[in-house]
Structure 1
Amino acid sequence: MTTEEKIKEVLANHVSPALQSHGGDCSFVKYDEPTATLYVAMEGACGSCPFALETLRMTVEQAVIAEVPEVKAVERV
């Protein structure tokens, strides 16, 4: 399984259900392998929420890095 496939699996199975329960979501945009940075789009309620950056760090980044250690950072686009 590629790094991108692992990331998409974590987003679909761990991150999205948690965010969807609050009316939001996030989607995979791209993974930049040279910088080990994942880029995601925050959607729904998460797209306009004033706490979106906290959600990105505490929910998305922590879950992805814990499951896919190749990822070193997660950024919002």
Structure 2
Amino acid sequence: MVLPTALSGRNQALLALIARTNPSSLTELAGTSGREKSNLARTLKTMERYGMVHFEKGEGCEVAPRINYSGISLEMSFA
């Protein structure tokens, strides 16, 4: 299951950073987060599949990650 990985503590911090800094590109986010751009791209594409983020066109070939919500709540039932 991928969703729990997408909501790991490290990725929750990434979502908060995106919401707080509103980066203009993945390159900028890589610089502020200290994570590799390729790693961010994979992580954010997974989050995009779950509707947690989306991308806006930036300058040139760049894309800017955007947060879809102000928070995420997860409810699970095993019954």
Asked if these proteins are the same fold (TM beyond 0.5), I'd say: no
Structure with more strand by fraction = 1
